[in-house]
Amino acid sequence: MSGSSIIDQQCLIIKEHEISCNIEQLKKCFDTIVSELNKIKFPINIKAIQKISTSITIDDTNPYNQSDIVNHPLFIIIRDCFINILHQWRTDQRLEQSSRTAFSEVAVMFAIIGDYVTDINVNVVKQLLIYKPLIDELNECLMEIATHGKYLQDFQIDAVDFMIRAIHRLSRRRLEIQNDALLGPLLDVIVKCVCSPFFFNIFMQITELKDLNEAQTFLLNTCTDYIAWYEGNRRHAIYSVIRTALLKPFTQWFQSHVATFQQWNELTNNAIDKQCAIMFDFGFENDEMLSSDTCDDCKKLIDGFIFILSSLSNSTTNTSSIDLIGICMFHLYAMTLEQNLLDYIKSRQLSAILLKLIDIGNEEMQFNAYRILASIMTEQDIKMLANPSKIANVFFTFLVEVIDNSRKIRRLRNLLRCLKSLVQHDQIKEDLIKEGILPQLIRCATEIKFDPLKEQQPALEILLAMTFNSAAATSLKQNSQFISHLKTLLISSPEQGVRRAVEGLIWKLEKEDTATANSAIKSTTQSAISYKYDIMLSYSHSDKDLCYRLHDRLTNDHFRVWLDREQMHGATMVAMADAIENSQFVLICMSDAYKQSAYCQSEAHYAYERRCHLIPIIMKPNYRPDGWLGFTVSGKIYVDFPKLGFDQAYLKLKNGINQQRKNFQQLTKNQDQLRSDPSITETHLTPIEMTSNNSDGQLSIKMCELTTLYRFVDKGTCDIVPKHQQSEQSSARICQYEWTYAPSSL
């Protein structure tokens, strides 16, 4: 029997008995094939390779996901054959029909192998595919596509397409492979392909296409999928390059076509989805400042997405429109992860539209709707909801579904991001606790299977926010195992962000009450002279630019200012508390980001509890605090930097601080006189300009009536005692004016 016949026989055995064959039988067949292939010289063995690749059917029913099988020398021979054919094709050598067939069939086989990579065989498949000669040939091929558009008219580009898919499927969700040095150049040339004019020229034709050919599939689907699933060390830089190349032309195309969105087909919807997926990489891990042009283009896309959602919320939906709703919601959510774009989305009054769409379509679409709502809802929006507890139920249900599903780890991370936004709302926080979310969050925060930065840290920060609910705080305080784990993490975790969250939790659960009580005793005897700092700036890292500018101006004017420039890598809560206790004034730098930060809430709460001199600063245009932050600064006059402009707002702030200092000095002097001689009346004292809010929110009261006696109660308040009650030694507090919180110049 000839070698070719023996190979045919073995291929037939494999194909007919692939389910019933055990590993040893398969290895025996493969051994026989390899033995015969070594006897046949190239290119005669190309036909054999083609037969072998088509006879190997890989799915859940056979043992090809076992490393012993994939590690067989036969697969190396097949791979090397593919490399030889790819080189011939790339260098314009004529391919025989058998080579053309084998070229595609082998690539398809490896793409299917990529679908069935497991922990058992991942290293073997990596050695097979992340192979320098193969990667080098692919790089050369893709560079010619990106530079000259070569091969885009050749249907055999499908072989390159499937081999890129094989590598993509192998590396998906495996950071150690994505960060492999050999794959860096491959990623670069794939990015060049999508940034090339050939990519966008194909995209611009999308509304006229009914099907995609091989080249269109490669550029619009395979290349974009490879980039969208890349989570390696260069992700942010890659997305920035793509935004620079594609955002402007895509926005112009989108604006010119959005009015006819109801005519878009599935191909158009998918192409829009994939293009957006490789441009928007916002979130807490990305500190890149978007240019004004980029923000403007993103806002135009936001307007288009909202136009589509608004139109579809008032019409009958079909499968295509439901898919488009989901696409718009998904990318709107991506936009909410960038603060400037989030502010713009909030200004568009989107909540009512989303609530109309919430019950349309599939689970994925509902999830996207709820996570946008989590980012944009105000306290008033929540009060207007017919069933606010539904939001807590949805997020709790999703969390339970994904917490043990490793294939849905990205969903878990997005859930934790949304929960960080939701728990700023006291009502939602209460509902989440009733749902029983604390044990699930503790699991995310403590189990070693979760990534310290991407899962544990967000869960710890959510738990920190939960401690402002008394029931949650009590539950966590009583969980000795959790407290013990926190103390271990504080010492052992190499991640600064994790340690900061842990330190904040330990502060809230074990130290804050004692510190507040001790500082209250200290504050009754502290004088202006004894402060270490004039001003402490409490701010969110998102607002750092304005805060740094304010800090520098204050310092130039000889104020002693405490500011933690490092934030995530800087002072602990103990240091923060010390700064608050030793600062005469605490500036609360208010914004959405400030309100959503559990660390900022901890600072503001501690300053409020110890009755510090709080001065609220508005950091973003049209911002008004609500919820816990609104309560903290209630009755105080804001300094609105965006509205007044920096110079005018700073002057107002500085004059206000100086007036408060003057008042404080006079109060201290009067207090000393009153203590030395209680019979002294105000006629012997210097009148003090003190202020309070009247019904319209304006400052209006100056205390210099001759019919009153001042009695200093503590650093921030004093009693106003009518003359006829002085004989009763004025034991009752008649009224209280918080002069330290609202000077007339503010």
Confidence of residue 27 (pLDDT cuts 50, 70, 90): confident
What is the mean predicted confidence (pLDDT) over 178-192?
97
Distance (Å, whole) CA 682 – CA 710: 7
User: In whole angstroms, how far apart are CA 174 and each of 115, 126, 169?
Assistant: 13, 11, 10
Confidence of residue 176 (pLDDT cuts 50, 70, 90): very high
Tokens encoding 274: 């994939």
pLDDT at 642 over 70: yes
Distance (Å, whole) CA 302 – CA 561: 40
Confidence of residue 680 (pLDDT cuts 50, 70, 90): low
Model's pTM, two decimal places? 0.76
| Least confident residue range of 58-62, 165-169, 253-257, 731-735 | 731-735
Distance (Å, whole) CA 339 – CA 352: 21
Distance (Å, whole) CA 286 – CA 420: 17
Q: CA-based angle 327:328:334, to the nearest 5?
A: 95
pLDDT at 15 over 80: no
What is the mean predicted confidence (pLDDT) over 236-252?
95
| Least confident residue range of 374-378, 597-601, 714-718, 730-734 | 730-734
Q: Are 619 and 642 in contact (CB under 8 A)?
A: yes
Confidence of residue 743 (pLDDT cuts 50, 70, 90): very low
- Phi then psi for residue 183, to 5 deg, are -85, -10
Confidence of residue 746 (pLDDT cuts 50, 70, 90): very low
Strand order through the sheet with 533-538: 561-562, 533-538, 583-590, 613-618, 639-640
In this prediction, residue 352 carries a pLDDT of 86
The DSSP annotation for 171-201 comes to HTT-HHHHT-TTHHHHHHHHHHHHTSHHHHH
In this prediction, residue 223 carries a pLDDT of 97
Q: Where are the domains of the chain?
A: 463-519, 533-666
The DSSP annotation for 371-395 comes to HHHHHH--HHHHHH-S-THHHHHHH
| Least confident residue range of 107-116, 271-280, 361-370 | 361-370
Where is mean pLDDT largest: 99-103, 190-194, 410-414, 579-583?
190-194
Q: Give the number of C-alpha atoms closer than 13 A to the C-alpha of residue 492, restricted to the C-beta side.
A: 9
Quickly count: other Cβ atoms within 10 Å of residue 291's Cβ.
Answer: 11
In this prediction, residue 566 carries a pLDDT of 56
What is the mean predicted confidence (pLDDT) over 661-681?
71
In this prediction, residue 340 carries a pLDDT of 84
Tokens encoding 311: 């139109």
Distance (Å, whole) CA 151 – CA 91: 11
pLDDT at 25 over 70: yes
Tokens encoding 656: 């206000």
In this prediction, residue 722 carries a pLDDT of 40
Confidence of residue 701 (pLDDT cuts 50, 70, 90): very low
Confidence of residue 522 (pLDDT cuts 50, 70, 90): low
Distance (Å, whole) CA 477 – CA 547: 35
Distance (Å, whole) CA 639 – CA 614: 12
In this prediction, residue 339 carries a pLDDT of 80
- 3-state helix vs strand vs coil in the chain, percent to 5: 65, 5, 30
pLDDT at 356 over 50: yes
Return the higher-pLDDT residue of 1 and 220.
Answer: 220
Distance (Å, whole) CA 173 – CA 519: 49
In this prediction, residue 200 carries a pLDDT of 94
β-strand pairing of 613-618 with 639-640: parallel
Confidence of residue 633 (pLDDT cuts 50, 70, 90): very high
In this prediction, residue 567 carries a pLDDT of 46
In this prediction, residue 681 carries a pLDDT of 55
Distance (Å, whole) CA 622 – CA 629: 15
User: For residue 562, what is the DSSP state?
Assistant: E
Return the H-helix or E-strand segment holding 722: strand 718-722
pLDDT at 478 over 90: yes
Q: 49-79: string of b/e by CB count within 10 Å (b at 16+)?
A: bbbbbbbbebeeebbbbbeebbbbebbebbb
Confidence of residue 519 (pLDDT cuts 50, 70, 90): low
Q: Are 348 and 306 in contact (CB under 8 A)?
A: yes
Confidence of residue 440 (pLDDT cuts 50, 70, 90): very high
Return the higher-pLDDT residue of 11 and 76.
Answer: 76
pLDDT at 454 over 80: yes
Q: Compute the radius of gyration of the chain from its Cα atoms.
A: 33
What lies within 8 Å, CB to CB, of 669 at 6+ separation is: 686
Tokens encoding 663: 């008042």
pLDDT at 523 over 80: no
Tokens encoding 187: 């990623």
Tokens encoding 520: 């209250």
CATH architecture of 533-666: 3-Layer(aba) Sandwich (3.40)
Q: Are 641 and 617 in contact (CB under 8 A)?
A: yes
Confidence of residue 529 (pLDDT cuts 50, 70, 90): low
| Residue found by looking up tokens 């996901």 in the block | 65
pLDDT at 212 over 90: yes
In this prediction, residue 90 carries a pLDDT of 94
Distance (Å, whole) CA 535 – CA 531: 9
Whether the ω angle into residue 625 lies within 30 degrees of 0, i.e. cis, is: no
Burial of 256 (C-beta count, 10 Å sphere; 0-12/13-18/19+): exposed
Confidence of residue 65 (pLDDT cuts 50, 70, 90): low
Confidence of residue 721 (pLDDT cuts 50, 70, 90): very low
User: In whole angstroms, how far apart are CA 531 and each of 35, 59, 325, 441, 512?
Assistant: 87, 72, 57, 40, 21
- Phi then psi for residue 617, to 5 deg, are -115, 125
The DSSP annotation for 218-264 comes to IIIIIIHHHHHT--STTHHHHHHHHHHHHHHHHHHHHHHHGGGGGG-
Average model confidence (pLDDT) for the chain?
83
Q: Which amino acid is at 324?
A: L
pLDDT at 597 over 60: yes
Tokens encoding 423: 């728990």
Confidence of residue 696 (pLDDT cuts 50, 70, 90): very low
The tens digit of pLDDT for each residue in 245-270 reads: 999 999 999 999 999 999 999 999 99
| Least confident residue range of 299-303, 315-319, 641-645 | 315-319
The tens digit of pLDDT for each residue in 540-553 reads: 988 999 999 999 99
| Residue found by looking up tokens 């392909």 in the block | 193
